Chain A
Amino acid sequence: MPTFDLASVPLRDLNQALHAVGAGANETEFEVINPRGAHAVAVGIDAPVRVDVHGSVGYYCAGMNAEATVTVHGSVGPGVAENMMSGTVVVKGDASQYAGATGHGGLLVIEGNASSRCGISMKGIDIVVKGNIGHMSAFMAQAGNLVVLGDAGDALGDSLYEAKLFVRGEVKSLGADCVKKKMRPKHLALLADLLAKAGVTDAKPEEFTRYGSARALYHFNIDNVDAY
């Protein structure tokens, strides 16, 4: 298994090696050591490789990931898995702001807490946070699912579009146009599936509350102007 020691190897070499993995490649498992908070670690991968990062990273780890499974054995800075297309990204520690921002697909699992704006503008990604999430999470979230086992901060789901939000703990406040919704059997099934995929065994779908868009801001109306 190739190991990249970022204390001595330039980041470019790592990312280029990951981009060079083509169909039928021999090497499909990579290890990164000493990331020491580096930004843009393992970004733009477009192949079903496995990358294990040992240590904490800076901004945009696994950005725009497609197909790969990236596991960070540490914490991540802002924008982990931003604009992810597919694949899986697992963070063993905590995540800073904008985790999973604008993600189109795939699964992002954060085993610790995520900071503010988790899932901002998400476009189809599934995000499972085992701890709490910060304020303004799922702002303008368009599609996909955000599952939070802990609590959510202020203004959850502000200006939400079609993304579904499931929170087990407390929600400090809801953002504009975000409302509590009924949990139907199909939502319970969806949630059970997401929890299983994220390896969560100690939470039941029935313990969660679903939130979604009231869709009152979908057409501009002057009487809603206070909400804009």
Chain B
Amino acid sequence: MAPPARSIISTSTMSTRIEAGQMTYKNPPTAPRQSATFDEYTLSEIRRAAATGIYDIRGAGAKRKVPHFDDLLFLGASISRYPLEGYREACGTNVVLGARHAKKPIELKIPITIAGMSFGSLSGPAKEALGRGATLAGTSTTTGDGGMTEEERGHSEILVYQYLPSRYGMNPHDLRRADAIEVVVGQGAKPGGGGMLLGQKISDRVAEMRTLPPGIDQRSACRHPDWTGPDDLEIKIQELREITDWEKPIYVKVGGARPYYDTALAVKSGADVVVLDGMQGGTAATQEVFIENVGLPTLACIRPAVQALQDLGMHRKVQLVISGGVRNGADVAKALALGADAVSIGTAALVAIGDNDPRWEKEYQALGTTAGAYDDWHEGRDPAGISTQDPELMKRVDPVAAGRRLANYLKVMTLEAQTIARACGKNHVHNLEPEDLCALSIEASAMAGVPLAGTDWIPGKTGL
């Protein structure tokens, strides 16, 4: 067919040559356009689901961007508020947990604790490193689904023992040698979800601790087997207190879902401490669809929980521990300023002891991923030796050196939080308050209940 003259007709190819008298020109091509809706990740997930017939399970927390502590700023001191001298004037960081009912409350030197992460999901040396690091820094660490190990009890001066729906490894002996008990109702990564530890991570030791055959997939129940609802929870807490002679602080951990009511009900049920975990909170293994689509962002959880405590006259009497995406001292300071008593960290602690370290890049690539993005923690092939039960891989974690790194990191976070608190004129990190903050976005302003920067507007509270 003869090329069309003097007109531009064909759009079927990107480089249609047009004869225009003597002139030839190239139609500017349109660049290939990727869909914002069907982006590369979404397409790959459709293909993966089609090929395997199984939903994607992974570790870590929500990866989507949600309003977070980064969307808040501190105002610092000015004429009306004078700052404290850095390094000279003291700025306290200690926190007492459990004084409401427990005969033996615990005192942490810093307002940052290590969150519950199960032995089974983590290797023995990783648990030991967490215990060592936390102890050096003067704070607590927490067991997880699967029971208490000698590695963590032996190396954690203050150990919180989780009481989970699965009750794997639960026994009165460990209950008595714990320093506090944490009744786990939910987790931010999966409020309303149970757990799944895949067969490849069920070594003989893990299987024995859980009273199950080695090598099979282990489902952890999503509901407690012997109580439902707040009235039962109150009786359950009473039982745990009676078993341990009212000595131990009892925490209740909930995922960020209905923070006002969950906090109020936990208090009503007799909790000494409420642990509230937002949707960015990490997990060892959960469905991707759950991690990314269920739960409230951490930032949106804090104010309603604090409000519930204040409405009940229990703020600072029942302590509030916040987790889910806490990364640095600024995050700590912001959580405390919004009313939390302490924070707890999971993912960041794992990174501090070597998780996702670029030094293993070649091996991450061999697993089809890259350092920083590796999240197949349930598969047990972690090059860093942390989320694995492989005896060779776990040798890569030196518990002493890794513990030291965790302690360093915790100290840096604490110093950072103190630096901010002093700049705001506070002699204790708990004296930080919402009035020290402003928000960078309308969303963050509404969620955190602090004014949009440069205005006195809090959506839903002041003005329109």
Question: Residues on A close to B: CB < 8 A?
Answer: 11-12, 15-16, 19, 39-40, 43-44, 46, 58-60, 63-64, 66, 78-79, 82-83, 85, 97-98, 101-102, 104, 117, 120-121, 123-124, 139-140, 142-143, 159, 161-162, 218-220, 222-223
**Residues on B with beta carbons closer than 8 Å to the beta carbon of A143:** 211-212
Residue in B53, B199, B211 with the greatest tally of chain A CB atoms within 10 Å:
B211
Q: Do B171 and A43 have beta carbons less than 8 Å apart?
A: no
Q: Which of A46, A58, A102, A223 contacts B226 (CB 8 A)?
A: A102
Q: Do A43 and B226 have beta carbons less than 8 Å apart?
A: no
**Residues on B with beta carbons closer than 8 Å to the beta carbon of A79:** 226-227, 239
Interface assignment of B221: CB less than 8 Å from any CB of chain A: yes
Q: Do A15 and B245 have beta carbons less than 8 Å apart?
A: yes
Interface assignment of B204: CB less than 8 Å from any CB of chain A: no
Known contacts: A44-B172, A85-B171, A219-B199. The answer to whether A140 contacts B219 by CB under 8 A is yes
Nearest 5 Cβ contacts at the A-B interface: A44-B243, A222-B53, A98-B226, A218-B216, A79-B226
Q: Do A39 and B53 have beta carbons less than 8 Å apart?
A: no
Q: How far is the CB of B124 from chain A (nearest CB, A)?
A: 22
Q: Do B238 and A83 have beta carbons less than 8 Å apart?
A: no
**Residues on A with beta carbons closer than 8 Å to the beta carbon of B235:** 39-40, 58-60
Cα–Cα, bound, A82→B227 (Å): 11
Known contacts: A102-B225, A120-B225. The answer to whether A59 contacts B239 by CB under 8 A is yes
Interface assignment of B246: CB less than 8 Å from any CB of chain A: yes
- Identify 16 new A-B residue pairs, CB closer than 8 A, beyond the known A60-B236, A139-B225: A15-B245, A39-B239, A40-B242, A43-B243, A44-B172, A44-B175, A63-B239, A64-B171, A83-B171, A104-B171, A142-B212, A159-B219, A161-B213, A219-B217, A220-B198, A222-B54
Interface assignment of B456: CB less than 8 Å from any CB of chain A: no
Q: How far is the CB of B104 from chain A (nearest CB, A)?
A: 15
Interface assignment of B244: CB less than 8 Å from any CB of chain A: yes
- Give 22 CB contacts A-B under 8 Å: A39-B235, A40-B235, A59-B232, A60-B226, A60-B236, A64-B171, A78-B226, A79-B239, A83-B172, A85-B171, A102-B226, A120-B225, A120-B226, A121-B166, A121-B167, A121-B225, A124-B211, A139-B225, A142-B211, A142-B212, A143-B212, A218-B213
Residue in A39, A124, A143 with the greatest tally of chain B CB atoms within 10 Å:
A39
Q: How far is the CB of B273 from chain A (nearest CB, A)?
A: 21
Known contacts: A101-B226, A220-B54. The answer to whether A46 contacts B167 by CB under 8 A is no
Known contacts: A39-B238, A117-B225, A121-B221. The answer to whether A64 contacts B211 by CB under 8 A is no
Q: Chain B: which residue is nearest A16 at the CB level?
A: B245
Q: Do A15 and B242 have beta carbons less than 8 Å apart?
A: yes
Cα–Cα, bound, A120→B228 (Å): 14
Residue in B52, B167, B213, B217 with the greatest tally of chain A CB atoms within 10 Å:
B167
Q: Chain A: which residue is nearest B49 at the CB level?
A: A222
Question: Residues on B close to A: CB < 8 A?
Answer: 52-54, 166-167, 170-173, 175, 196, 198-199, 210-213, 216-217, 219, 221, 225-227, 232, 235-236, 238-239, 242-246
Q: Do B239 and A40 have beta carbons less than 8 Å apart?
A: yes
Q: How far is the CB of A95 from chain B (nearest CB, A)?
A: 12
Cα–Cα, bound, A219→B219 (Å): 10
**Residues on B with beta carbons closer than 8 Å to the beta carbon of A219:** 199, 216-217
Q: Chain B: which residue is nearest A119 at the CB level?
A: B225
Residue in B170, B173, B213, B239 with the greatest tally of chain A CB atoms within 10 Å:
B239
Known contacts: A16-B245, A101-B226. The answer to whether A43 contacts B239 by CB under 8 A is yes
Cα–Cα, bound, A124→B53 (Å): 35
Known contacts: A64-B175, A140-B219, A222-B53. The answer to whether A11 contacts B212 by CB under 8 A is no
Q: Do A98 and B225 have beta carbons less than 8 Å apart?
A: yes
Known contacts: A60-B235, A104-B171, A142-B212. The answer to whether A44 contacts B225 by CB under 8 A is no
Cα–Cα, bound, A123→B167 (Å): 9
Cα–Cα, bound, A170→B170 (Å): 33
Q: Do A11 and B242 have beta carbons less than 8 Å apart?
A: yes
**Residues on B with beta carbons closer than 8 Å to the beta carbon of A97:** 226
Q: Chain A: which residue is nearest B172 at the CB level?
A: A64
**Residues on B with beta carbons closer than 8 Å to the beta carbon of A220:** 54, 196, 198, 217
Cα–Cα, bound, A222→B57 (Å): 13
Q: How far is the CB of B244 from chain A (nearest CB, A)?
A: 7
Q: Do A63 and B211 have beta carbons less than 8 Å apart?
A: no
**Residues on B with beta carbons closer than 8 Å to the beta carbon of A101:** 225-226
**Residues on B with beta carbons closer than 8 Å to the beta carbon of A85:** 171-172
**Residues on B with beta carbons closer than 8 Å to the beta carbon of A63:** 239, 243
Cα–Cα, bound, A66→B196 (Å): 30
**Residues on A with beta carbons closer than 8 Å to the beta carbon of B199:** 218-219
Q: How far is the CB of B437 from chain A (nearest CB, A)?
A: 44
Q: Chain A: which residue is nearest B175 at the CB level?
A: A64
Cα–Cα, bound, A85→B169 (Å): 11
Known contacts: A83-B171, A219-B199. The answer to whether A12 contacts B242 by CB under 8 A is yes
Q: Chain A: which residue is nearest B241 at the CB level?
A: A40
Q: How far is the CB of B435 from chain A (nearest CB, A)?
A: 43
Q: How far is the CB of B56 from chain A (nearest CB, A)?
A: 12
Cα–Cα, bound, A83→B164 (Å): 12
**Residues on B with beta carbons closer than 8 Å to the beta carbon of A43:** 239, 242-243
Q: Do B212 and A161 have beta carbons less than 8 Å apart?
A: yes
